[in-house]
Amino acid sequence: MAKKEAKPRKFQAIRGTRDLLPPETALWNRVEQTAHEVFATFGFGEIRPPIVESTELFARAVGGETDIVSKEMYTFEPKLEFFRENFRSVDEAMQSEGRLVRALELVAVFSENLTSALQLKQMAENRETVEAAEALEKLVIESIERRNAGESQPDDNWRALLNRAEQLLWSVDLGGRESLRPEGTAGVCRAYIEHNMQQLPQPVKLYYIGPMFRRERPQKGRYRQFYQIGAEILGGPDAPAIDAELIEMLMTFFEKLKLQGVELAINSIGCPQCRPKYVHALREKLLEFRDRLGEDSRRRIETNPLRVLDSKLTSEQEIIALLPKIADYLCEDCRAHYEAVKHQLELRGVIYRENWRLVRGLDYYMRTTFEITAQGLGSQNAVCGGGRYDGLVELLGGPPTKGIGFAIGEDRLILSIQESGKGAAPQGRAVYIAWMGERAYATAIRAAKDLRKAGFRVELPPTELRFGKALERASKLGSRFALILGDNEVADGQWTLKTLADGSQQKLTEQALLEYLLKV
Ligand code: HAM
């Protein structure tokens, strides 16, 4: 009996990722085009940083203890790290013949991969690594010879060999780990430093559009690959007008897109001078309520008490209302800065609401923080988050530099626009050319070329269709007009144009047709 053929596996986009498809992509393009236009009027230029960066960059900038860095990053280990990590200890290898053999195999695989990585120039070829690779190869040969001679019980000779192997394993510089970017600010600051942008006229105003990656639990408005439209202002003073103008730009952008139910919340989270006092007071108070807090908040009392303010747990809301407020702890400079930011927003007619609980989930913020919500998004209703991060460039090895920025969640922005019914993209191909006959086809090709040149969307069927069939297709595609070209039309030089919505027809010359279409 013939063997039943296995069906090839069907693939699906992986969890938390999705395809953006037409006609929706037209709306994505419209949103991005609007960002390019509005941001340009505020003097921003586009930056396109890479999507992978050193893991260490995000750990330092966003914070190693944050959820984003500690739980959600897509990180690539150097291939050889696996074997090194699995080589636990010489003592363990000495416990049995099986463990010894396993340890020797790990060393052999490491050695083989290291040698080939060096040959293929996949690794930096420093002297130490090259020497380690050679010494490891010799060790592996030695161990094979011993095992061939029947020596495979743990003993002092093996211990000595494994000790040397372990030393060599750790002397190799495997290069750092790399991660898919979970956000854009760290990369932009890295680029500012790398390209000495502090030598340009300050501040430097940059924006970016592109995918970010966080391994969160997917839900409506929350994806593992999502898109941000972000902007950063680096260098120059920390004048409150800069904060306000950045927010004004955001509001202008959202207004242009007719985003509904936009609400701006602002706060100041102080600076390294005044915040520690607040964090201390907060921690003390939280300890009093420790037993009534959930597990996450209890952990955060130690790691990051500010994040407790973010909690959405109903059971914790009463407690949070009793906690000390940052506004009462701001130093004089921070208080004045915050007051001035609010004044500057008022000068620009930007409506805001103060939210003392707005602390944000990334470590680099100081002073001004803000978030914008919009309608139709359910629990993931923040379309934009941002704030000031004056110490960040310095923390990443650059000169002392002021900084402020935001990132819009483009997926959520699009969702909100769609939910409010403002997202319908102009659709359908404008002109469908229904042709029949060889001569008509040549004319149809020319007509398609001319109409496209004039900016029309043209659909030219690749094979001959009966007129009835062609008209059916045209209306399925949502075309506005059908241009009917048969031998009669070509012979008379009078083309038939059918308006699909009402079925009316008219005869026009080639020239008159173009003029008519350009007018309607
Ligand atoms: P963020 O608050 O982590 O800030 O992200 C900004 C926005 O990205 C959020 O308000 C949300 O709209 C969107 N977003 C975040 N995670 C997801 C997700 N998993 N799925 C869909 N959308 C998401 C930052 O990323 C900072 N870098 C913003 C910034 C720039 N601050 C200063 N400069």
Is the minimum distance from the CB of 215 to ligand 1 under 6 angstroms? no
pLDDT at 418 over 90: yes
Atom 29 (ligand 1): residue with closest C-alpha? 406
16 phi-psi bin (left φ>0, alpha ψ -120 to 50, beta other): left
Is the minimum distance from the CB of 187 to ligand 1 under 6 angstroms? no
Residue range 411-433: mean pLDDT, rounded: 85
Reduced to 3 states (helix: H, G, I; strand: E, B; else coil), residue 276 is: helix
- Determine the distance separating the centroid of ligand 1 and the alpha carbon of 234, expressed in angstroms: 19
Helix axes 127-148, 97-119, angle to 10 degrees: 140
- Given pLDDT bands bounded at 50, 70 and 90, which one contains residue 425? low
Is the Cβ–Cβ distance between 309 and 303 less than 8 Å?
Answer: no
- Determine the distance separating the centroid of ligand 1 and the alpha carbon of 362, expressed in angstroms: 10
- Determine the distance separating the centroid of ligand 1 and the alpha carbon of 226, expressed in angstroms: 9
Atom 13 (ligand 1): residue with closest C-alpha? 409
- Determine the distance separating the centroid of ligand 1 and the alpha carbon of 409, expressed in angstroms: 6
Report the nearest atom of ligand 1 relative to the CA of 62: 27
- Given pLDDT bands bounded at 50, 70 and 90, which one contains residue 429? low
Type of residue numbered 116: S
pLDDT one-digit tens code per residue, 446-483: 999 999 999 999 999 999 999 999 999 999 999 999 99
Atom 20 (ligand 1): residue with closest C-alpha? 222
Is the minimum distance from the CB of 235 to ligand 1 under 6 angstroms? no
Is the minimum distance from the CB of 363 to ligand 1 under 6 angstroms? no
The predicted pLDDT at position 176 comes to 82
Is the minimum distance from the CB of 230 to ligand 1 under 6 angstroms? yes
Residues 6+ apart with CB under 8 A from 130: 118
Residue range 13-28: mean pLDDT, rounded: 96
- Determine the distance separating the centroid of ligand 1 and the alpha carbon of 407, expressed in angstroms: 6
Give the pTM.
0.87
- Given pLDDT bands bounded at 50, 70 and 90, which one contains residue 222? very high
Is the minimum distance from the CB of 384 to ligand 1 under 6 angstroms? yes
The predicted pLDDT at position 406 comes to 98
Please choose from 66, 206, 228 the residue to mutate so as to test ligand 1's pocket, defined by most ligand atoms within 8 A of CB. 228
The predicted pLDDT at position 106 comes to 92
The predicted pLDDT at position 240 comes to 98
- Determine the distance separating the centroid of ligand 1 and the alpha carbon of 404, expressed in angstroms: 14
12 phi-psi bin (left φ>0, alpha ψ -120 to 50, beta other): beta
- Determine the distance separating the centroid of ligand 1 and the alpha carbon of 386, expressed in angstroms: 8
Across the chain, mean pLDDT equals 94
Residue range 11-27: mean pLDDT, rounded: 96
Is the Cβ–Cβ distance between 375 and 261 less than 8 Å?
Answer: yes
Is the Cβ–Cβ distance between 408 and 262 less than 8 Å?
Answer: no
Please choose from 183, 189, 416 the residue to mutate so as to test ligand 1's pocket, defined by most ligand atoms within 8 A of CB. 183
pLDDT at 116 over 70: yes
Is the minimum distance from the CB of 214 to ligand 1 under 6 angstroms? yes
Percent of the chain at pLDDT exceeding 90: 84
- Given pLDDT bands bounded at 50, 70 and 90, which one contains residue 39? very high
- Determine the distance separating the centroid of ligand 1 and the alpha carbon of 197, expressed in angstroms: 25
Reduced to 3 states (helix: H, G, I; strand: E, B; else coil), residue 169 is: helix
The predicted pLDDT at position 310 comes to 87
Residue spans of beta strands (DSSP E) within 164-274: 178-180, 204-213, 225-234, 263-268
With the C-alpha atoms ordered 412, 416, 419, 425, is the resulting torsion angle positive or negative? negative
The predicted pLDDT at position 494 comes to 94
- Given pLDDT bands bounded at 50, 70 and 90, which one contains residue 304? confident
pLDDT one-digit tens code per residue, 43-68: 999 999 999 999 999 999 999 888 99
How crowded is residue 379: how many other Cβ atoms within 10 Å of its Cβ?
10
Residue range 220-246: mean pLDDT, rounded: 97
- Residue 424 to residue 403: CA distance in whole angstroms: 37
pLDDT at 303 over 90: no
Atom 12 (ligand 1): residue with closest C-alpha? 409
Report the nearest atom of ligand 1 relative to the CA of 360: 2
pLDDT at 1 over 70: no
Is the Cβ–Cβ distance between 105 and 83 less than 8 Å?
Answer: no
- Determine the distance separating the centroid of ligand 1 and the alpha carbon of 383, expressed in angstroms: 8
